[in-house]
Amino acid sequence: MLRRQIAGIRGAAMMLLLLSGLPLLAQNTATGVINATLVNKNGIALIFDSDPGGLALGAAGTSAVSADFGLISAFGPLSGGVTRPAVGPASFTVRTLFDVNVFQGGLNSTGYTLAANLATAAPIGLNYKVDAVTLTTVLQTIQTNGTYNIDVAHNLDLVVNTAAPGAGGPAVNTPITTTINFTATAN
């Protein structure tokens, strides 16, 4: 009978230990620490957005977009988002609108200066303009008081000489591609 009582006591003790959640076996424990260093840098970023009155830009919302004017001429239909603000005896102009949005972080700057240039010289018979500025391969100021974090509309004009190819006019029926570089600098 004593053995039964001892066995019962042992069983009750084991049950209490199991129910109380106390570990019966030793646990292995490991700890670690990560020392993280962060250097907060200030800066600005420039993206292009499609303007409601202009072409739908390829890759809009990024810093590298494309604008496909489609077929252009001094007369006749143009692609949606392309207008023809001027037709003269020696040239015509086609235009689209595009938006520039410059974001800033960590700066005490209240605005930015926007500049642009052609990556290579314009093909013969063509001139590119952003707003009223005729672009060359030299960086030129487009805007000096840009506002951060909003879409700012700009005109992209292509002025086409109407002279025949070889006489000062551009090649016809040939796709023409030009790269325009933009630079935003915090004021």
Q: In this predicted model, what pLDDT tens digit does every residue of 87-110 receive, in sequence order?
A: 999 999 999 999 999 999 888 899
Run of H or E including 7: helix 2-20
* Structure token digits, residue 127: 């001139």
Query: Looking at the domain that runs over 43-186, which CATH code has it been given?
Result: 2.60.40
Per-residue pLDDT tens over the stretch 142-160: 999 999 999 999 999 999 9
Residue 78 near residue 150, CB atoms below 8 Å: no
Per-residue pLDDT tens over the stretch 120-138: 999 999 999 999 999 999 9
State phi, psi for 106 to the nearest 5 degrees: 75, 20
**How many whole angstroms separate alpha carbon 76 and alpha carbon 128?**
21
pTM of the model: 0.78
